[in-house]
Chains A and B, each alone.
Chain A
Amino acid sequence: MSGITKKFGDFTANQNINLTVHRGEVHALLGENGAGKTTLMNVLYGLYKPTEGTIKVNGKPLQVSDPNVAIANGIGMVHQHFMLVDPFTVTENIILGNEPTKTFGVLDLQRAEEEVRQLSQTYGLHVEATAKIQDLSVGSQQRVEILKTLYRGAQILILDEPTAVLTPQEIQELANIIRNLTKAGKSIIIITHKLNEIKQVADYCTIIRRGAHIDTVQVNEVSEDDLAAKMVGREVSFKVAKKQRERGDKVLEIRGLEVEDSRGITAVNGLDLDLYQGEILGIAGIDGNGQKELIEALTGLTKVRSGVVKVRDKEVTNRTPGEMINKHRVAHIPEDRQKRGLIFEFDIAENMVLEKYNVPPFSRWFTLLWDKIYQNADLLVKKFDIRPQDSRVLARALSGGNQQKMIIAREVSNDPELLIAAQPTRGLDVGAIEYVHQSLVEQRDAGKGVLLISFELDEIINVSDRIAVIYEGEIVGILDAEGVDEKSVGLMMAGGSA
């Protein structure tokens, strides 16, 4: 790809970008949230028409007018959000749009299943060919997406933030798969915000900043710090700076909490926890140990089976989400920003008042005061550096990182007693992560209680004052974060004793 420029209206998302990928090579794309990585890849895959620039595949110039052209020329893409048909089987999904037929056009499902099995064996992409998509884990669904591109004959695979949704173990499996693919002569373009992954799997790395091409480097010649600095344009600190702080009154008290998950199975099982003003309490644990249900119970999104929750000494068990937000001042950065956190079809300003559209100064006598709503957003957009800096842009058009910033801006500006942050840095670049962590620390320093839930142990240890380990719906240990031993926390997370 050379000289690629892509504009959305007046906004330039890609500015004269060059990218060269060789056969059998893993090429990483690195850049801040909103730098234009996904946009560039969408141009290559034929989803966007470049404003300027040319694309060559195998030395031949190519007009990628739509994804079919890309596919026919051996380009495959796995998107940030999967595009699978849930009630269909793995094989059916893979052959969709490319079905093998017997004579008279009868679908040859058996042959297809055989081919899928063969492909998955060759590259170590383990999935059950006859399983239904809705029954698969996220990691397996991703493997189906990769198989789909291979089935269509992809030689160049684009993976857009494949690891953001995976568990650490699944990430290792993906790294192996990538190795198998390159051995077979395929080329991979991978987008990720995790520098250690780039070091681990990539040969080259192209860095993009604000739509512009900054540099292309050979990965084994640079350090993670170099990469971070190139990407953000300044030094980035991976350690969170925190002052000592005395903890204050109790903000949150949980006693004997029991919550069922959506299938009616006990997910939180007699949980006790205390959280004080001016502290960040990190909940460490492997996904699926009751974190989700705990958060939903604390925010009123699900009903509690038994137990007591108190915020500032007031009992708040089984209140509605509205009461938790407005009366008890509990703010919540949700784990799933697409589903819960924002409304795609609303603009930034409308999203910013999702919890307070019906209180002054944003409304009076059931009438919305749009001027105030836009003023509020203009201020927050500036203060939290949300790009583009325009309150009228729909949430849909923001990059993942900027969507997250928007949610954080909204929740923090609600001035809560208790801030619940669930996976607040998922999919964020290192600069933005630093920023989010600082925001959490600021809230702590302002005397709020912060409950941080994350599957990344590094993050928990780095940011928290105290660490509570959750296992099978119970808190199995509480540790001081200062000088904690990562190994013993890991052991407790897996159900062993420290």
Chain B
Amino acid sequence: MKFTKSDLKELFIRGPLGLTIFSTILGFSIGAIVLAIAGFNPAEAYWAIIRGIFSKPKYMSYVIIYATPLIITGLSVAFALRTGLFNIGAEGQFIVGAMTAAMAGYYFQLPMIIHVPLCILLAMSAAAVWGGLAGYIKARFGVHEVISTIMLNWIAFYLSNWSLTIKSFGKQGTGKSYMIQETARIDLFGQWKITEAGIDFIRSHKILGDVLKSPVNIGILVALLLAFLVWYILNKTTLGYELRAVGFNPDAAEYGGINVKKSMVTSMAIAGGLAGAAGALQVMGVGHKIAKLAIMEGYGFDGIAVALIGNNTGPGSVFAGLLFGGLKYGGSKIQDAVGAPTEVINIVVGTIILFIAMPKFIQLVLRFKKG
């Protein structure tokens, strides 16, 4: 697990990174063709994305805010995949985490220093149970995790909507929950921003003030910490060794004395906890409440693409999440710049991501077919 120079060469030229770079270029090229066919200038549109991301500090801070949940759901999917499990359930685990954090954030009245970590931990635990359940069902009854997690996604979906009918939690008639306490919010300077001093500061400080115009929060720091933890667990701990061994070759893992079934449950529980953290941070840093879901929001599903693009590693998920977040946010700027309708933009962004993730996805499907 140490890198030499030739390993790096291998990684870039023939290895996963080379493939990613190649397919990224391909994705952007096909996206350009789509734009051209729809009658828009691709160069202008891509330039709009770049400007839309980098021209103002506020924009960059928005990209990070967009990327944060994607990084973490990406970590969730990546972690399970390393044990050979396909966690399509990140979506449901995200919902469970968000709901739990919204409840803990609203019902408890605690000092911030306790309230924030408590909310995150409770959300992670609830989502870990949600994910672990899928692992348990597989270990105990042999039901494939893809099937059980899809079902658990729907259960989480309706559970979350149902929770809003609880009188003390959901603001009846609005389809939203009550706002969480100030002490459970992780926005930076959220209160201070709307005081006179805050408004003054934002006016007078160009860069920092601009950043503060976006809902900056400490979520990205938690995401980076989690990415580090995932990397550490997988590469530095005995648990990581077990999970990777099971992922590569369960028969050999069993032969070596590793409890394969337990590993499945553990891996799915950790993956669930990660996705739950994403849901919690989204509530605590951006929304401050949950709302009735009409459709699945897709954070968990996007996590699949992030994991694939990031080659199922901690650091990879961070980069892929930022790329994904950048495209999502920057893509929305095409509309103003060249007047392309949202539908065309979504097709272009979707195409780019599809192309980047597709080779990995094909590899994954082949692996599952073989096993």
- Chain A: residues with CB nearer than 8 A to chain B? 9, 299, 301, 320-326, 332, 334, 339-346, 350, 354-355, 357-358, 363, 366-368, 370, 392
Give the segment of B142-150, B232-240, B298-306 that binds chain A. Answer: B232-240
| Contact (Cβ within 8 A) A343 B236 | no
Whether a CB of chain A sits under 8 angstroms from the CB of B256 is yes
| Contact (Cβ within 8 A) B238 A368 | yes
Contacts of A345 in B (CB 8 A): 248-249
From A323, A339, A357, name the one whose CB has the most chain B CB atoms within 10 angstroms: A357
| Contact (Cβ within 8 A) B255 A366 | no
Bound Cα distance from A267 to B119, whole angstroms: 55
Say how far B264's CB is from chain A's closest CB, in angstroms. 16
Bound Cα distance from A13 to B53, whole angstroms: 50
| Contact (Cβ within 8 A) B238 A301 | no
Say how far A418's CB is from chain B's closest CB, in angstroms. 15
Which of B1, B252, B259 is A370 in contact with, Cβ under 8 Å?
B1
Say how far B15's CB is from chain A's closest CB, in angstroms. 13
Q: What are 7 A-to-B residue pairs whose CB atoms are below 8 Å?
A: A322-B257, A325-B256, A344-B248, A345-B248, A357-B241, A358-B241, A392-B2
Contacts of B257 in A (CB 8 A): 320-326, 355
Whether a CB of chain A sits under 8 angstroms from the CB of B200 is no
Whether a CB of chain A sits under 8 angstroms from the CB of B34 is no
Bound Cα distance from A358 to B242, whole angstroms: 9
Question: Which single residue of chain B is at the shortest CB-CB distance from A370?
Answer: B1
Say how far B16's CB is from chain A's closest CB, in angstroms. 13
From A339, A354, A355, name the one whose CB has the most chain B CB atoms within 10 angstroms: A354
Contacts of A363 in B (CB 8 A): 238
| Contact (Cβ within 8 A) B258 A366 | no
| Contact (Cβ within 8 A) B255 A321 | yes
Say how far B188's CB is from chain A's closest CB, in angstroms. 34
Interface size class of B (residues with CB under 8 A): 20 to 34
Encode contact with A along B240-256: 1 for CB under 8 Å, 0 otherwise.
11101100110111111
Contacts of B244 in A (CB 8 A): 346
| Contact (Cβ within 8 A) A346 B255 | no
Known: A346-B245, A357-B241. A367 touches B255 (CB 8 A): no
Known: A321-B256, A341-B255, A370-B1. A354 touches B236 (CB 8 A): no
Say how far B248's CB is from chain A's closest CB, in angstroms. 5
Question: Which single residue of chain B is at the shortest CB-CB distance from A299?
Answer: B255
Known: A322-B257, A326-B257, A346-B245. A339 touches B252 (CB 8 A): yes
Encode contact with A along B291-333: 1 for CB under 8 Å, 0 otherwise.
0000000000000000000000000000000000000000000
Contacts of B254 in A (CB 8 A): 301, 321, 340
Say how far B49's CB is from chain A's closest CB, in angstroms. 37
Bound Cα distance from A332 to B257, whole angstroms: 11
Contacts of B245 in A (CB 8 A): 343, 346, 354
| Contact (Cβ within 8 A) B238 A343 | no
| Contact (Cβ within 8 A) A334 B239 | no
Question: Which single residue of chain A is at the shortest CB-CB distance from B6?
Answer: A9
Say how far B243's CB is from chain A's closest CB, in angstroms. 12
| Contact (Cβ within 8 A) A342 B2 | no
Say how far B263's CB is from chain A's closest CB, in angstroms. 12
| Contact (Cβ within 8 A) A367 B249 | no
| Contact (Cβ within 8 A) B238 A342 | no
| Contact (Cβ within 8 A) A334 B255 | yes
Bound Cα distance from A344 to B157, whole angstroms: 40
Known: A321-B254, A366-B239, A367-B236. A343 touches B259 (CB 8 A): no
Bound Cα distance from A266 to B240, whole angstroms: 38
Contacts of B242 in A (CB 8 A): 357-358
Say how far A129's CB is from chain B's closest CB, in angstroms. 26
| Contact (Cβ within 8 A) B248 A346 | yes
Bound Cα distance from A339 to B250, whole angstroms: 9
Question: Which single residue of chain A is at the shortest CB-CB distance from B9?
Answer: A9
Contacts of A341 in B (CB 8 A): 252, 255
Bound Cα distance from A301 to B255, whole angstroms: 7
With A332-B255, A350-B1, A357-B238 known, 7 other A-B pairs at CB within 8 A are A321-B257, A323-B257, A342-B249, A358-B238, A366-B237, A366-B239, A367-B238
| Contact (Cβ within 8 A) B241 A320 | no
Contacts of B239 in A (CB 8 A): 366
